Structures are given as structure tokens and as C-alpha cells.
């Protein structure tokens, strides 16, 4: 990959990843407000906002992080399978995205219930809060892996390094 293209894909990857992290922070704040507030108007507004942020920002950023991460890993010497930290980041990102996409219909259902009947979402409020907090923890772990790059090379990475003579 040419240097300008590598920098462009890296910039895009960092941008969507940071966007994902920030959107989950906003989503968590709304989930806390929905759980803590006794004001039905605020609760309804929080649920509707969570649905919009979830589908249009968080899911988009998650898919963007997977796509740009794959492009970055497959188009640079880091590779997808050469370093444990890269592979772990990818597995965590895909796992978090799967959980997110499976979780979002619940958010939509709660938002619909909140706007149509004003019904209290009850136990689902806690589930939304737990998902948001858990997602934030996973994203912070992925960020830490990007910075600390622990565990070294995989067996495949060591073999590729020996083949290329880049010791």
C-alpha cells in the first residue's frame, strides 16, 4: 500500500473508531438518564435518542471500524494474523459489532414503546445500561491494545518474519 493510501486508511480507521467510542459514551449517558430519571418525558427522549445514535452512528462506526481495520491490516506489514494484538482487536471488534447489531432491535422496541404508549421499559432499562457500559469497556480495551501492542507475534507472524529476513 502506498504511504499516502496507508495514511488515509489509518486516519479513516482512527476516526471511525474514535467516533464509535464517543457515540457509545453519549449512548451510555442517555442510558443512565433513562434509568435514573423519574421524568417520563426525559425517559422517552433518551430512548428515542439512543435508537437514533445506535443505528445511525454506533452501528455505522462499528462497521466502518471493521472495514477500515481489515484494509489497514491486510494492506500493511502489521497483517491480520501476524500479531496477537491485531488479531485480538479484530476479534473484539467483530464480537462487539455482532452483540451491538443483535441488541439494537431491543433498543428500537423500547423506543417505540416509549413513544407510543409511554410504558415503562422496566428491566430492559438495566439491560440497556449494562450493554452500553460493557460496550464502552470493550472499546477501551481495544484502544489500549492499539497503544500497548502486547504479546508479540503469532507463530504465523514469526514464520513470515523469518521468511522475509526482517529479524
Provide mean pLDDT across the span 10-39.
95
Q: Quote the pLDDT of residue 117.
A: 63
Query: What does the alpha-carbon distance between residue 112 and residue 107 come to, in Å, rounded to a whole number?
Result: 9
| Predicted pLDDT at 124 | 79
Q: Nearest CA to 58 among 44, 66, 11? A: 66
Percent of the chain, pLDDT > 70? 95
Neighbours of 62 (CB within 10 A): 26
Mean pLDDT highest for which of 117-121, 140-144, 158-162? 140-144
pTM of the model as a whole: 0.91
Lowest-confidence pick of 30-34, 67-71, 119-123: 119-123
- Provide the pLDDT for residue 30: 96
Question: Please, what is the average pLDDT of the chain?
Answer: 92
State yes or no: pLDDT of 165 exceeds 80.
no
Residues ≥6 apart with Cβ < 8 Å to 158: none
| In the chain, % of residues over pLDDT 90 | 77
Q: What is the average per-residue pLDDT within 88-92?
A: 97
3-state secondary structure of 72: helix
Residue 32 and residue 132: Cα distance in Å, rounded?
9
Question: Does residue 90 register a pLDDT over 80?
Answer: yes
Amino acid at each position: 500500500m502506498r504511504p499516502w493510501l496507508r495514511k488515509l486508511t489509518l486516519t479513516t480507521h482512527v476516526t471511525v473508531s474514535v467516533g464509535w467510542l464517543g457515540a457509545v459514551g453519549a449512548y451510555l449517558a442517555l442510558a443512565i438518564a433513562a434509568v435514573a430519571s423519574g421524568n417520563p418525558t426525559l425517559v422517552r427522549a433518551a430512548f428515542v435518542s439512543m435508537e437514533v445514535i445506535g443505528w445511525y452512528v454506533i452501528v455505522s462506526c462499528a462497521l466502518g471500524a471493521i472495514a477500515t481495520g481489515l484494509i489497514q491490516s491486510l494492506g500493511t506489514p502489521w497483517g491480520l494474523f501476524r500479531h496477537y494484538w491485531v488479531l485480538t482487536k479484530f476479534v473484539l471488534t467483530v464480537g462487539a459489532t455482532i452483540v451491538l447489531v443483535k441488541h439494537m432491535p431491543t433498543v428500537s422496541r423500547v423506543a417505540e414503546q416509549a413513544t407510543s404508549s409511554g410504558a415503562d421499559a422496566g428491566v430492559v432499562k438495566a439491560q440497556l445500561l449494562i450493554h452500553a457500559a460493557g460496550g464502552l469497556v470493550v472499546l477501551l480495551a481495544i484502544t489500549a491494545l492499539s497503544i500497548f501492542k502486547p504479546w508479540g507475534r503469532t507463530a504465523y507472524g514469526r514464520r513470515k518474519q523469518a521468511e522475509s529476513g526482517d529479524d
